Amino acid sequence: MADGESVRVAVRVRPFNQREKDRDSKLCVRMLGPTTTVINPEDGKDKSFTFDFSYWSHDGYDNCAVSVSWIEIPRERMRPDGYNECGGEGMGTDGATYADQKKVFDDLGQGVLNNAYEGYNSCLFAYGQTGAGKSYSMVGYGVNKGIVPISCDEIFKRIEEQKASSPDKYQFQVTIQMLEIYNEQVRDLFSKTNPSGGLKVGSHLFFML
């Protein structure tokens, strides 16, 4: 993150899933730069909100070799490896430009990694209702990797680079923990069993002498 910044907030809009298409849902969101505008479908009135990033991922993209729950692309527009890339500048609704997984990582994930390399604690928090697209942004699907797997790739690339340049200077230890907050309960995603009611949440005090 840039100097002086402590928190960044981003929003992302996904394509309609099949249930929404079957219900003939209407698009009520527009994005321009960092501004997201929500339109009331009943009276047409709108309200705008400005974030650090507003990611348009509803349409304007090409290439999907596999079918996932909320992405459908004509097969004649598939890229061989199945990556969903921007179809072109301004190709989305009202001139929006599709934000692919790499764009989201470059803006958000890379800053978290840079802070971690410098020894600072960083947190990336995905929030939204079930089916909003959190898992796609964070984990991804197939070659459309999300922030977490891309970050893992980048960490080990960085380690290999450091080893190659100074093989005797550094030692590396990588640990990982994945937690989920669902229905106000914390679950350890790496554990086969979690206690009833979720993991205990508490405060830890650290003293430096």
The mean of the pLDDT values for the chain is 84
pLDDT in tens, 106-119: 999 999 899 888 88
Q: What is the pTM of this model?
A: 0.79
CA distance 125 to 109: 11
The yes-or-no verdict on residue 70 having pLDDT over 60 is no
Beta bridge partners of 10: 53
- Residue with more model confidence, 102 or 189: 102
Amino acid 197 reads G
**Is residue 112 within 8 Å of 63, Cβ to Cβ?**
no
pLDDT value at residue 173: 86
Confidence of residue 73 (pLDDT cuts 50, 70, 90): very low
Give 159-174 pLDDT, tens digit per residue.
999 899 988 888 888 8
Res 23 pLDDT > 90: yes
Q: pLDDT exceeding 70 applies to what percent of the chain?
A: 86
63 class by beta-carbon count within 10 Å (0-12 exposed, 13-18 middle, 19+ buried): buried
Across 51-56, average pLDDT: 96
Q: What pLDDT was estimated at residue 207?
A: 44
pLDDT at position 203 is: 58
The pLDDT, as a whole number, for residue 26 is 92
pLDDT at 75 over 60: no
